[in-house]
């Protein structure tokens, strides 16, 4: 018996040592399941959440957002405003691309020029004149005029390996070409400076990333040596995959699944207030009634958005009375949710519509969390002030063309500011629609306020944060008083992982987890 | 024989032409692909430029003509999402779907025939009554519910089965990826195959039972009894083969329908096959892929029907497909 | 000692309402080499006796009492394996329809050899040799070749020969032939009966021949047993029973058989069979709705058919020259006079039913013309006109059950065409339907029942009532009584005759049954392979047939006129 025990002890000792040899602290595989995989490896092809998630894995930006929405140095080690129109960045030295090339200031210039040609990105770089190379480790970002969002925008500058993309591919096409509706060299080949390089990829099935051995950030706590990213479309399957141990980390998590995750002691749920606001716009061109401020206010008073957050979102959202979420400069603390049915009825009487009217409403049914249920709830709430709602919901693929046609009196829209700044909300949702300037592109309600238009433009040139905050908050107040539309809530974000996969420090309100810094116990 | 195949081939082309015309005529209702290809801040004017470049603003007939012209050169368009020729994408996904359908068919065949035959031979037996009762319940449970229940019980609670995907596959002949050669692959295919078969299994049990009952009451079975044959020979030689004729006909069509059901099963299990690909294409308004998929499925239906007819001809001597003179 | 002895055989079918006695204390015997006829109408229990002997009763039937002895060995009450060893080896079976007795998916070789191996336990090689021998014996040419073929490659008569060969393959002592020729054409029937007769004599095998056909009984049986509702009413030498029946049922049954040799005005009815509802109101057609058919053209020829052609594709091919076609009708021309009964006679495949279908518009001819009531029906651009004349032309089919919608009440089935064609005011329809039901002998009360609640003869009455509901001038009767028993046939034929007299109907009567044709028709056309061979007044055709084929048909007609001559002369018709 003793002999046997000794034998087992020897074997397990051997096993233990071999495990230690084979599996040093860094040799960890993360099985990751998102609802979709990136559409391309070309990070400039599309400006979307999925592409930014990829960008933070394969590339590094100049600076990135920290969880508290401050800027964290990455490839830029420091920065300073040298004049009204210029910010100077000092670059990190000794950074390598996956291809083995060394990152230089020239790569930044090349990347900036490419961004200016990208259909998706050129919008947010429209205020930038040039990226000037000062020396090998110094660049200047130059704007047309004073611009407050230089650092915000710098989070989008992930330098690409200009030498890697030089020349022609086997089809004679320029390797750097951005192609949206077909294959290109850049969409299938990538070389970034990021913590992970792509080892294999089957669109829609699996992407395998291996840790980049020469990654510059040796201080990172990240110890994931391989990431296997699988898209799992179905919410319930994704959760089941986590619960059964088939994957380690999932996002997003639907509110309906929270219970299952919280009930299981092997997994953890991490939630965070998000920045995507959900609203209903009131089309003043289609409906005479909506031109009446009192009617709009009545509707805003009639909608119990707190109730929607509690009952439908199960608390997984933050009730909104404005567009800017907390943490944004424009967030105006004084604006409170204002559900008050009596007040709403009174306003309807005052406006001369005590008996109400009938309106049409459209909403998607697979775009936002619980979008269809929310629309139904709003319709029911409006019926209390005698506004009968004729609701139609449809898949997002069909919804957007209808939205573009302004096909109903009330349309649902959710918005996340690409710049993580309040002005972006106003530019797209609140400013008077204008084909030439491109402003108000998603303002389907045709709300128009001179004050909002002018103050937004002014704020876009104000580089003093305090002054700018005052301007942006005054815009929120104006929109609130005008009841330009019906604000509902900001969607929260949720991730879940196996315990021991410490996702909490690496997730953020922008929803691009910094997997490179992920530490697994 | 050659004639028969030639006829079917022509038929397939006609079917695909009609399908392509139909799917082309509704493609504007499938959503705006540009929405999926561009970020929210890209202006409508920019999108319009892209639509022009992609030829999406051309008149219907011009677009359709271009499609047909390309199709004649073997090009059924390029998927917006996969950025590959649609046929490449479909053929890449085809093995996964066919293997899933095949596995589900195996389950159906190996369960429905013995169970159907048993309940026809011994209709009063408690087990027959049990089979019939279960099959009534089974027919009314939606596939995705079965799938989720399987995942919940066998993956989440018991941890016996993988919850999603195809697992480890092995390459055959360079192209075909198969689940059947690794333990992991087989484990992965079991639950999707059960879920997929669940909708058809009750139907097949009932079909086999009904046909068997009918055959058992036929004159030739009575004649076989009158000849003094043993019960086993009567049931499994004389009756079963005749039972299989209508089962094959219906079964062929059902297998075609099963390819459609894979859409649900594959999306729950994240099975990387054509059905899931199609669902994603619809969500993404990936119109070239949608059109190509529908055409391909139409083609598949004709192929399946042809195979069924050939099989039927092999089993049933009264069918003269091969043009042999009597 | 006889080969087979049956004593007091009683067979019961228990059901929810009690027990139905299908065979009631029947005793009879069969000797080796002898053919015993079992005759009776449907429900008489004649097939049940055959099935009961070898325990092939369909569920829940069971032998309740009695003893069956074969070669001195009691075989009643045997179970499972013991009775299975009797089947095939000791008692061979021949069923009615050779088209369905053979498994379509196996070759003749497969089906014969398995039987021989099973019954005799010989090797495959020997079984095959025996099979070929047997096929030769039953008159299959080239047996070595044909044994490799499948049932569908044989004609009906050939298949029945194969079935007989299989029945003989276990070397049984007794053969039970259950309506072996009912599904066959007249000429084939004669050959098969002769074959059975010869085999019985040669092999000294006993045979029970179950049939409803008096002609068959008269031609081949040595003795006959008459059954009525499960009871044996009379048994004896065939010539005695038919020539001098003792039991009143046997007497009336024999008198109801249409005679080939002589035309009678009405068929004598079998009194003991289901009686017509008593107390029927007859209607005066001169004043009734039924008699007021609109638009009477007084054309002499109500129906004129000219050069009618139709061929079916029997083997498809890509190139036209390789396709094979069957000429179903080949330049057929004839006309039917107003008020006349016109008979179309032929064996299966002669094209007679195809003509009916073309007249009714169920099938389109390749060429030719059909003029009904002065209107061309073929390729007439005036579709409305065609539709309105076709409404005055109705069909009655052979199988009355399948042509009635089983989910509709009888009164709705009959009212449907009246309402569809707007032939009467809605409030009158109910009354008219009631009158029609009275008139065809069902009674208006039966209108609330469903088709399955009626017997075959009653269903045929329903389809006649439905046909009359459009007030047709021409009735096309396609084998209207082939599926019916003799006694019911007599009733239906009488009804048709009466209706014709009252309403001045014209009839196109299609049948393979020559005696029926003789009783029903004024003129007759004989068809074969799509052609009309001979067209004559009925009496002339039967007395002086011109065509060789007609003569053959008349010769092959099973007759029992001679045997029953005296009886018919004496009966009070």
Q: Are residues C165 and C232 in the same domain?
A: yes
Confidence (pLDDT) at C567: 45
B220–C119 CB contact, under 8 Å:
no
Task: Give the end of a domain, one of C212, C235, C255.
Answer: C255
Cβ <8 Å between C150 and B317: yes
Nearest to C103 among B3, B220, B226 (CB): B220
Q: Looking at residue C279, what is its pLDDT? A: 41
Whether residue C250 sits in one domain with residue C129: yes
Q: What is the pLDDT of residue A296?
A: 93
Select the residue of B3, B227, B238 nearest C87 (Cβ to Cβ). Answer: B227
Candidates B26, B32, B40, B48: best to mutate against A (most CBs of A within 10 A) is B40
pLDDT value for A6: 44
Burial grade of C284 (CB within 10 A; 0-12, 13-18, 19 or more): exposed
Q: Is C56 on the interface with B (CB under 8 A)?
A: yes
With a cut of 70, say whether residue A399 has pLDDT above it.
yes
Residue A74 pLDDT grade (very low, low, confident, very high; cuts 50, 70, 90): very high
Residue A180 and residue B38: Cβ atoms within 8 Å? yes
* Distance in Å from the first CA to the final CA of chain C: 43
- Asked if B316 has any chain C CB less than 8 Å from its own CB, the reply is yes
Residue A7 confidence class, pLDDT cut points 50, 70, 90? very low
CB–CB contact B317 C163 (8 Å): no
CB pair distance less than 8 Å for A401 and B267: no
Phi, psi of A451 (to 5 degrees): -60, -45
- Return the pLDDT at A409: 93
Q: Are A46 and A61 in contact (CB under 8 A)?
A: no
Subunit contact B151:A244, Cβ cutoff 8 A: yes
Q: Do A119 and B40 touch (CB under 8 A)?
A: no
> Is A425 touching B (CB cutoff 8 A)?
no
Q: Does some domain include residue C18?
A: no
**Where residue C157 sits, what CATH number does that domain have?**
3.40.50.300
CA distance A180 to A203: 15
What residues in B contact A237, CB-CB < 8 Å? 148, 151, 163-164, 268-270
Cβ-count burial of B58 within 10 angstroms (0-12 exposed, 13-18 middle, 19+ buried)? Answer: middle
Closest-CA distance, B96 to chain C, in angstroms, reads 36
Residue B68 lies in a domain: no
pLDDT, averaged per 10 consecutive residues of chain C (573 residues), comes to 86 82 88 89 82 83 86 83 85 82 88 88 89 85 86 81 86 88 77 86 89 84 89 88 85 78 69 47 61 58 89 67 75 89 85 86 88 87 85 80 77 86 82 84 81 78 85 87 77 83 86 85 90 89 88 76 49 37
C205 and C306 both lie in a single domain: no
In this complex, is the C-beta atom of B214 within 8 Å of any C-beta atom belonging to chain C? Answer: no
Question: By percentage, how much of chain A surpasses pLDDT 90?
Answer: 60
Structure tokens at B98: 């066919």
ipTM, two decimals, is: 0.80
Is A438 in contact with B38 (Cβ distance < 8 A)?
no
- C243 and C347 part of one domain: no
Please report whether residue C16 resides in a domain.
Answer: no
Residue B122 in domain: yes
B145 — contact with chain C (CB < 8 Å)?
A: no
Residue C215 sits in which domain range? 32-56+86-255
- Residues in B touching C166 (Cβ below 8 Å): 223, 227
- Integer Cα distance of C482 and A115 in angstroms: 90
Show me where the domains of chain A are located.
11-45+173-269+499-517, 63-154, 273-492
Token pair of B137, please? 């319940």
**pLDDT tens digit sequence for C420-436:** 878 888 888 888 888 88
Residue C412 within any structural domain of the chain: yes
Domain A273-492 superfamily per CATH: Dipeptide-binding Protein; Domain 3 (3.10.105.10)
Q: Do chains A and B touch (3 or more CB pairs under 8 A)?
A: yes
Whether residue C188 is contained in a domain is answered as yes
Count chain B–chain C contacts defined by CB atoms under 8 A: 89
**Cβ atoms < 10 Å from Cβ of B26:** 12
Residues C200 and C303 in one domain: no
Task: Report d(CA B279, CA B293) in Å as an integer.
Answer: 10
A171 in B contact zone (CB under 8 Å)? no
**Is C95's CB within 8 Å of B320's CB?**
no
Query: What pLDDT shows up at residue A270?
Result: 93
* C275: phi then psi, degrees, rounded to nearest 5: -85, 155
Q: Does A187 touch chain B (CB under 8 A)?
A: yes
Are the beta carbons of B285 and A187 separated by less than 8 Å?
Answer: no
Write b or e for each residue in B34-51: b if 16 or more Cβ atoms lie within 10 A of its Cβ, otherwise e. Answer: bbbbbbbbbbeebbeebe
DSSP code at position A506: G
Query: Is C276 within a domain?
Result: no
**CATH code of the domain occupying A63-154:** 3.90.76.10
The answer to whether position B20 is within a domain reads: no
Identify the pLDDT of residue A71: 92
| Chains in contact with B via at least 3 Cβ–Cβ pairs below 8 Å | A, C
Nearest to B99 by CA among B180, B217, B202, B13: B180
Q: How is residue C71 annotated by DSSP?
A: T
Residue C74 domain-assigned (yes or no): no
| Rg of chain C in Å (alpha carbons) | 26
Q: Is residue C236 part of a domain?
A: yes
C317 and C190 in a single domain? The answer is no
Same domain, C247 and C294: no
Calculate how close chain B gets to A171, using CA atoms only, in Å: 14
Q: Does A424 have pLDDT greater than 80?
A: yes
Q: Is B223 in the C-facing interface, judged by CB distances under 8 Å?
A: yes
- Report the residue of chain A nearest B159, measured CA to CA: A244
**Beta pairing class for C223-228 and C35-39:** parallel
Contact B306, B9 (CB under 8 A): no
Confirm whether B291 is domain-assigned: no
Cβ–Cβ gap A240/B159 under 8 Å: no
Is the CB of B31 less than 8 angstroms away from the CB of A397? Answer: yes
Same-domain pairing of C485 and C556: yes
Q: Does B218 touch chain C (CB under 8 A)?
A: yes
- Tell me which chain C residues have a C-beta less than 8 angstroms from the C-beta of B323: 315, 317
C170 in B contact zone (CB under 8 Å)? yes
pLDDT of A15 over the 50 cut: no
Domain finish residue from C255, C272, C302: C255
What does the pLDDT read at residue C217?
87
Conformational region of residue C71, where left means phi above 0, alpha means psi within -120 to 50, and beta covers everything else: left
pLDDT tops 50 at residue B310: yes
- Residue C20: per-residue pLDDT: 81
Task: Name the residue among A79, A495, A95, A85 with its Cα closest to residue A274.
Answer: A495
Q: Best residue in A53, A203, A235, A362 to probe B by mutation, most B CBs within 10 Å?
A: A203
Query: Which range of residues forms the domain containing residue B247?
Result: 89-273
Calpha distance C433→C416 (Å, rounded): 10
* Euclidean distance between CA atoms B90 and B289, whole angstroms: 8
Cβ neighbours of A135 (radius 10 Å): 9
d(CA A167, CA A186): 12
Name the domain count of chain C.
Answer: 2
Closest partner CB to C104 (pick from B224, B233, B318): B318
Query: How many domains, in total, are found in chain B?
Result: 1
CA–CA separation, A433 and A440 (whole Å): 4
Place of tokens 């993404």: B284
* C531 at B interface, C-beta within 8 A: no
> Domain check: are C249 and C309 in the same one?
no
Structure tokens at A379: 């319709």
pLDDT at B7: 83
Residue A237 to residue B164, Cβ atoms within 8 A: yes
Sort C211 into a burial class: Cβ within 10 Å, 0-12 / 13-18 / 19+: buried
- pLDDT above 50: residue A8: no
Q: Does B230 touch chain C (CB under 8 A)?
A: yes
Q: Is C120 helix (H, G, I), strand (E, B) or coil?
A: helix
Which chains neighbour A (Cβ–Cβ under 8 Å, 3 or more pairs)? B
Structure tokens at C545: 């047939």
pTM value?
Answer: 0.75
CATH of A11-45+173-269+499-517, one of 3.40.640.10, 3.40.190.10, 3.40.50.12280, 3.30.200.20: 3.40.190.10
DSSP summary character for residue A431 = S
């Amino acid at each position: 018996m003793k002999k046997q025990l000794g034998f087992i002890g020897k074997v397990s000792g051997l096993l233990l040592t071999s495990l230690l040899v084979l599996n040093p602290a860094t040799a960890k595989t993360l099985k990751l399941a998102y609802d979709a995989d990136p559409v391309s490896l070309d990070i400039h092809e599309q400006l979307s959440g999925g592409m930014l998630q990829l960008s933070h894995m394969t590339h590094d930006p100049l600076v990135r957002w920290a969880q508290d929405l401050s800027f964290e140095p990455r490839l830029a080690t420091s920065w300073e405003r040298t004049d009204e129109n210029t910010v100077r960045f000092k670059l990190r030295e000794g950074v390598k691309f996956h291809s083995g090339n060394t990152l230089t200031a020239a790569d930044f210039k090349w990347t900036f020029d490419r961004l200016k040609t990208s259909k998706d990105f050129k919008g947010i770089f429209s205020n930038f004149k040039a990226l000037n190379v000062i020396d090998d480790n110094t660049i200047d970002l130059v704007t047309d005029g004073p611009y407050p969002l230089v650092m915000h925008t710098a989070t989008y500058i992930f330098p690409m390996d200009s030498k890697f993309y030089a020349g022609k591919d086997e089809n004679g096409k320029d390797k750097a070409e951005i192609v949206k509706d077909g294959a290109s060299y850049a969409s299938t080949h990538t070389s970034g400076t990021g913590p992970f390089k792509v080892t294999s990829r089957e669109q829609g099935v699996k992407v395998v990333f291996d840790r980049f051995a020469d990654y510059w950030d040796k201080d990172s706590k990240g110890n994931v040596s391989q990431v296997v990213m699988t898209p799992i479309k179905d919410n319930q399957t994704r959760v089941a995959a986590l619960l059964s141990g088939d994957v380690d980390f999932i996002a997003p998590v639907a509110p309906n699944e929270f219970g299952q995750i919280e009930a299981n002691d092997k997994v953890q749920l991490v939630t965070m207030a998000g920045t995507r606001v959900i609203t209903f716009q009131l089309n003043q061109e289609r409906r005479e009634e909506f031109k009446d401020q009192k009617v709009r206010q009545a509707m805003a008073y009639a909608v119990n958005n707190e109730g929607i957050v509690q009952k439908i979102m199960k608390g997984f959202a933050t009730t909104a009375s404005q567009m800017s979420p907390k943490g944004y400069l424009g967030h105006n603390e004084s604006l409170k949710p204002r559900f008050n049915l009596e007040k709403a009825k009174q306003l309807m009487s005052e406006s001369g519509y005590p008996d109400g009217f009938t309106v049409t409403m459209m909403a998607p049914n697979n775009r936002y969390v619980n979008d269809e249920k929310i629309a139904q709830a709003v319709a029911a709430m409006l019926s209390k002030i005698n506004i009968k709602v004729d609701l139609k919901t449809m898949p997002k693929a069909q919804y957007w063309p209808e939205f573009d046609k302004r096909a109903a009196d009330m349309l649902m829209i959710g918005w996340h500011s690409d710049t993580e700044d309040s002005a972006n909300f106003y530019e797209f949702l609140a400013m008077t629609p204008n084909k030439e300037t491109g402003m108000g592109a998603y303002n389907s309600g045709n709300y128009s306020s001179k004050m909002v238009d002018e103050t937004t433009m002014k704020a876009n040139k104000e580089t003093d944060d305090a002054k700018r905050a005052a301007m942006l908050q005054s815009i929120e107040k104006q929109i609130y008083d005008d009841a330009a539309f019906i604000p509902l809530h900001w969607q929260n974000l949720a991730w879940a992982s196996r315990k021991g996969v410490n996702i909490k420090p690496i997730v953020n309100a922008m929803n691009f987890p910094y997997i490179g810094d992920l530490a697994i116990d | 024989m050659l004639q028969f195949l030639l006829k079917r081939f022509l038929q397939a082309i006609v079917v695909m032409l009609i399908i392509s015309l139909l799917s082309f005529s509704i493609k504007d209702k499938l959503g705006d692909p540009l929405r999926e290809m561009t970020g929210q801040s890209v202006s409508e004017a920019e999108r319009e430029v892209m639509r022009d470049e992609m030829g999406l603003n051309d008149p219907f007939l011009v677009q359709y003509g271009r499609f047909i012209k390309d199709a004649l050169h073997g090009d059924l368009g390029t998927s917006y999402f996969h950025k590959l020729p649609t046929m490449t994408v479909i053929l890449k996904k085809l093995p996964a779907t066919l293997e899933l359908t095949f596995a589900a068919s195996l389950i159906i065949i190996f369960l429905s025939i013995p169970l159907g035959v048993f309940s026809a031979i011994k209709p009063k037996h408690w087990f027959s009554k049990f089979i019939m009762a279960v099959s009534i319940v089974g027919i009314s449970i939606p596939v995705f519910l079965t799938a989720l229940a399987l995942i919940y019980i066998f993956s989440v609670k018991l941890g016996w089965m993988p919850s999603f995907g195809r697992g480890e596959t092995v390459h055959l002949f360079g192209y075909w990826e198969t689940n059947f050669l690794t333990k992991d692959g087989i484990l992965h295919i079991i639950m999707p195959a059960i879920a997929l078969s669940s909708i058809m299994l009750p139907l097949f049990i009932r079909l086999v039972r009904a046909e068997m009952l009918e055959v058992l009451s036929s004159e030739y079975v009575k004649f076989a009894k009158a000849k003094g044959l043993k019960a086993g020979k009567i049931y499994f030689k004389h009756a079963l083969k005749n039972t299989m004729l209508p089962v094959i006909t219906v079964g062929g069509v059902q297998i075609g329908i099963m390819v459609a059901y894979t859409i649900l099963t594959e999306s729950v299990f994240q099975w990387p096959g054509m059905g899931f690909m199609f669902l994603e294409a619809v969500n993404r308004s990936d119109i070239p892929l949608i059109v190509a998929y529908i055409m391909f499925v139409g083609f598949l239906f004709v192929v399946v029907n042809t195979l069924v007819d050939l099989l039927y001809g092999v089993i049933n001597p009264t069918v003269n497909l091969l043009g042999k003179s009597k | 000692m006889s080969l087979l002895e049956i004593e007091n055989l009683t067979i019961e079918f228990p059901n929810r309402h009690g027990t139905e006695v299908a065979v009631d204390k029947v005793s009879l015997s069969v000797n080796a080499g002898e053919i015993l006829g079992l005759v009776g109408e449907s429900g008489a229990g004649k097939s049940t006796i055959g099935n009961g002997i070898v325990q092939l009763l369909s569920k829940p039937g069971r032998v309740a009492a009695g003893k069956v002895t074969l070669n001195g060995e009691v075989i009643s009450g045997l179970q499972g394996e013991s009775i299975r060893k009797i089947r095939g080896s000791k008692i061979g079976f021949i069923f009615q329809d050779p088209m369905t007795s053979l498994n379509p998916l196996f070759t003749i070789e497969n089906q014969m050899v398995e039987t021989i191996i099973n019954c005799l336990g010989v090797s495959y090689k020997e079984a095959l040799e025996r099979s070929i021998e047997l096929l030769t014996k039953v008159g299959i040419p080239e047996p070595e070749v044909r044994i490799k073929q499948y049932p569908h490659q044989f004609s009906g008569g050939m298949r029945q020969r194969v079935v007989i060969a299989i029945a003989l393959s276990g070397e049984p002592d007794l053969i039970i032939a259950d309506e072996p020729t009912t599904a066959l054409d007249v000429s084939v029937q004669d050959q098969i009966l002769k074959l059975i007769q010869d085999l019985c004599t040669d092999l000294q095998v006993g045979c029970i021949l179950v049939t409803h056909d008096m002609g068959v009984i008269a031609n081949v049986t040595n003795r006959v047993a008459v059954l009525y509702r499960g009871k044996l009413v009379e048994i004896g030498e065939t010539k005695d029973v038919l020539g001098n029946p003792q039991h009143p049922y046997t007497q009336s049954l024999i008198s109801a058989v249409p005679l080939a040799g002589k035309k009678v005005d009405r068929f004598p009815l079998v009194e003991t069979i289901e009686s017509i509802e008593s107390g029927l109101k007859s209607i005066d057609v001169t004043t009734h709705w039924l008699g007021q058919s609109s638009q009477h053209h007084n054309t002499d020829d109500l129906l004129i058919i000219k050069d009618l052609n139709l061929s079916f594709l029997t083997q498809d091919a890509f190139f036209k020259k390789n396709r094979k076609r069957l000429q179903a009708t080949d330049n057929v021309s004839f006309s039917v006079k107003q008020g006349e009964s016109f008979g179309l006679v032929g064996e299966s495949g002669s094209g007679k039913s195809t003509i009916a279908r073309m007249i009714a518009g169920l099938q389109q001819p390749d060429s030719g013309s059909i003029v009904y009531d002065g209107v061309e029906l073929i390729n007439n651009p005036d579709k409305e006109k065609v539709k309105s004349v076709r409404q005055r032309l109705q069909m009655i089919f052979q199988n009355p059950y399948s042509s009635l919608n089983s989910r509709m009440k009888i009164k709705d089935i009959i009212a449907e065409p009246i309402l569809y064609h707007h032939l009467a005011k809605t409030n009158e329809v109910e009354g008219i339907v009631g009158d029609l039901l009275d008139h065809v002998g069902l009674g208006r009360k039966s209108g609330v029942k469903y088709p399955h609640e009626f017997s075959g003869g009653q269903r045929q009455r329903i389809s006649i009532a439905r046909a009359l509901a459009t007030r047709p001038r021409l009735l096309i009767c396609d084998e209207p009584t082939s599926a019916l028993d003799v006694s019911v046939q007599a009733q239906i034929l009488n009804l048709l005759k009466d209706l014709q007299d009252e309403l001045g109907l014209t009839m196109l009567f299609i049948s393979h049954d020559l005696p029926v044709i003789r009783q029903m028709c004024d003129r007759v056309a004989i068809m074969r392979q799509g052609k009309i061979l001979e067209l004559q007044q009925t009496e002339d055709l039967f007395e002086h047939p011109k065509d060789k084929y007609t003569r053959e048909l008349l010769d092959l007609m099973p007759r029992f006129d001679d045997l029953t001559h005296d009886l018919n002369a004496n009966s009070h018709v």
